Amino acid sequence: MSAQLPGAPHVQYRSEELFVEEVRLADLAREHGTPLFVYSRAAMLSALAAYQRGFAGRKAKICYAMKANSSLAVLQVFARAGCGFDVVSGGELERVLAAGARAGDIIFSGVGKTRREMRWALKAGIHCFNVESEQELEVLSEVATETGIEAPVSLRVNPDVNPLTHPYISTGLKGSKFGIAHKEALRVYRRAASLPGLRVLGIDCHIGSQITQVSPYLDAMDRVLDLVTAIEAAGIPIAHIDFGGGLGIVYHVEQPPPADVLWQRLLARLDARGFGDRQLLIEPGRSLVGNAGVCVTEILYLKPGEGKNFCIVDAAMNDLPRPAMYEAFHQIVPLQPRGGKPASYDVVGPVCESGDWLGRDRKLTAQRGDLLAVLSAGAYCMSMASNYNTRGRPTEVLVDGSTAHVIREREDIADQMRKEKLLP
Ligand SMILES: *Cc1c(COP(=O)(O)O)cnc(C)c1O
């Protein structure tokens, strides 16, 4: 079992036992129960370091797109490492400030910001609003005028390039709800420059997620730089350029470029086009946390079926929604591999939905009571987890070397019912 695991070297087997850094996962499962999310701090910092190397010597701000994993301690790890943040709601803004982020390092994205959220963000003093429509611009101008605080803005433009990824996570094509159409952008920039209370600061784009090739980024960069040229020719200076997030990770057989290699290519293009001195922003989410996390789950039952065997585990679509939502693939491996002949199983959870599966046709040598790890579970798992079927969301542990910190306790039934009221 020495095959290269996604997340290695921070997630790997040592003498037939799966470890995260210096901690044996079976020990954590015994102590904290299952399902259990476990993250490696070193894996997060090493993912961040790849971006930091890529931008060495540049004016750049790395803003972690915290919707990928918004647990407070995870945010703390990034805040302490000097990272900025990309938030998509007032809730995320409050959360990341509670984790110790500096307001000046925060940008605010999203297609549906409310007036209340705009007010919070203005009063907090965030770095920039990434505005996604003309009406949003008008409302932000009103709110800024009312509160007497100027709003720094960037317009999210839609470069209309295909990121070559899953349709649900493509965001930069025509017909997407995100961003302002490329051909409208110049007109909307003129409007932004004329509205009271706004200060045009930059331009941004985000073309999709789990992107594993360089070419869509190069295409998007070219389209955005064409716009910068046109906008500045119209007398509106663009101080920063934000290329969004979206870099993919290894779930299975993908081979995404490492962040520093990607940015070497992109910065060469930026320099060649004469924009190398601009302030750069990026908004990586998945690529900072995805391979840093695993979800440990116990096999409750093995159920041979007609033509299919089921391996029923105690983690489910409410804990790990990506397979149900996107038919996403996560590797599933035993904590303590057994000898013997493997059989093929669909690994499924206890939730009452046929869509509640974690992996299909997986070869496992497994027995009831064995522990499995669902790999690459650091991004868009816990942050998307729900209480469907009145299941409490799992415990989370952050491993730092040989120390394991509980960073979130398992939700109990009282937690789940706290805000509900019985009829009189
Ligand atoms: C989700 C999102 C990101 C992060 O995407 P990843 O694929 O996780 O890197 C960045 N920017 C915006 C605007 C987003 O919506």
Q: Which of 248, 377, 366, 249 is nearest to 317 (CA)?
A: 377
Q: CA geometry: angle at 416 spanning 78 and 368, to 5°?
A: 85
Q: Tokens 């017909």 correspond to what residue?
A: 175
How much distance in Å is there from the Cα of 330 to the middle of ligand 1?
Answer: 20
Q: Does 3.40.50.920 match the CATH number of domain 109-284?
A: no
Q: Which of 46, 17, 68 is nearest to 296 (CA)?
A: 17
Whole-model pTM? 0.96
Residues 374 and 393: their CA atoms lie apart, in Å, by 16
Rounded Cα gap, residues 53 and 50, in angstroms: 5
Name the nearest CA neighbour of 366 among 338, 395, 392.
Answer: 338
Asked whether the domain spanning 109-284 has the same topology as the one spanning 2-40+290-417, the reply is no
CB contact at 8 A, 296 and 34: yes
Amino acid 368: pLDDT: 98
Give the residue among 170, 164, 379, 384 at the shortest CA–CA distance from 285.
379
Q: Which residues pair with 295 in a beta bridge?
A: 37, 374
Q: Is 311 a catalytic residue?
A: no
Tell me the per-residue pLDDT of 33-53, one tens digit each, with 9 for 90 and over: 999 999 999 999 999 999 999
Could you report the per-residue pLDDT of 306-329, keeping only the tens digit for each?
Answer: 889 999 999 999 999 999 999 999
Q: What is the pLDDT of residue 172?
A: 65
Ligand 1 nearest atom to the CA of residue 209, by list position: 7
Residue among 335, 214, 285 nearest 70 (CA): 285
Query: How many Å apart are CA 164 and CA 363, to the nearest integer?
Result: 29
Atom number of ligand 1 nearest to Cα 288 = 9
Question: The tokens 């990506």 sit on which residue?
Answer: 322
At residue 1, the pLDDT reads: 44
C-alpha distances (whole Å) from 396 to each of 36, 39, 184, 355, 409 are 6, 8, 45, 24, 7
Minimum-distance ligand 1 atom for the alpha carbon of 109: 13
How far is it, in rounded angstroms, from Cα 284 to Cα 280?
13
How many Å apart are CA 404 and CA 408, to the nearest integer?
12
Ligand 1 center to 130 CA (angstroms): 12
Six token digits for residue 233:
């020719």
Question: Among the options 63, 83, 295, 352, which is catalytic?
Answer: 352
User: Would you put residue 179 in left (φ > 0), alpha (ψ -120 to 50) or beta?
Assistant: left
Amino acid 160: pLDDT: 84
CA end-to-end span of the chain, whole Å? 59
In the reported structure, the alpha carbon of residue 157 is separated from the centroid of ligand 1 by a whole-number distance in angstroms of 14
Angle, CA of 51, 375 and 255, to the nearest 5°: 50
Ligand 1 center–CA 189 separation, angstroms: 23
- Which residues contact residue 359 at a Cβ distance below 8 angstroms, ignoring those fewer than 6 apart? 323, 329, 330, 332, 346, 347, 374
Close Cβ partners of 28 (under 8 Å, ≥ 6 residues apart)? 20, 36, 38, 296, 397, 404
H-type alpha helices, 172-291? 185-194, 215-233, 259-272, 286-289
Residue 43 has which token pair? 């894996």
What's the confidence (pLDDT) of residue 170? Answer: 67
Specify the CATH superfamily of domain 2-40+290-417: Lyase, Ornithine Decarboxylase; Chain A, domain 1 (2.40.37.10)
The residues spanned by each domain of the chain are 2-40+290-417, 109-284
Q: Cβ–Cβ contacts within 10 Å for residue 268, how many?
A: 12
- Name the token pair of 353: 């939905």
User: Which atom of ligand 1 is nearest to 156's Cα?
Assistant: 13
b/e per residue, 207-218, with b = 16+ CB within 10 A? Answer: bbbbbbebebbb
Of 44, 66, 69, 86, the one to substitute when testing ligand 1's pocket (max ligand atoms within 8 A of C-beta) is 86
What pLDDT does residue 3 have? Answer: 59
Ligand 1 mean position to 165 CA, how many Å? Answer: 13
The gap from C-alpha 340 to its chain's centroid, in whole angstroms, comes to 38
Q: What tokens were used for 117?
A: 């959220």
Structure tokens at 7: 């997340």
Q: Give the residues surrounding ligand 1 with Cβ less than 6 Å away.
A: 65, 67-68, 86, 109, 206, 209, 244-247, 283-287
Per-residue pLDDT of the chain (424 residues; tens, 9 = 90+): 445 899 999 999 999 999 999 999 999 999 999 999 999 999 999 999 999 999 999 999 999 999 999 999 999 999 999 999 999 999 999 999 999 999 999 999 999 999 999 999 999 999 999 999 999 999 999 999 999 999 999 999 999 887 777 666 667 667 678 899 999 999 999 999 999 999 999 999 999 999 999 999 999 999 999 999 999 999 999 999 999 999 999 999 999 999 999 999 999 999 999 999 999 999 999 999 999 999 999 999 999 988 899 999 999 999 999 999 999 999 999 999 999 999 999 999 999 998 999 999 999 999 999 999 999 999 999 999 999 999 999 999 999 999 999 999 999 999 999 999 999 9
Give the SS3 label for residue 93.
helix
pLDDT digits (tens, 9 = 90+) for 115-137: 999 999 999 999 999 999 999 99
Contact 201, 240 (CB under 8 A): yes
- In whole angstroms, give the CA distance from residue 163 to residue 138: 30
pLDDT value at position 130?
98
Residue 161 pLDDT: 85
Q: What is the per-residue DSSP string for 388-410? A: GGGPPPPEEEEEETTEEEEEEPP
155 contacts 131 by C-beta, under 8 angstroms: yes
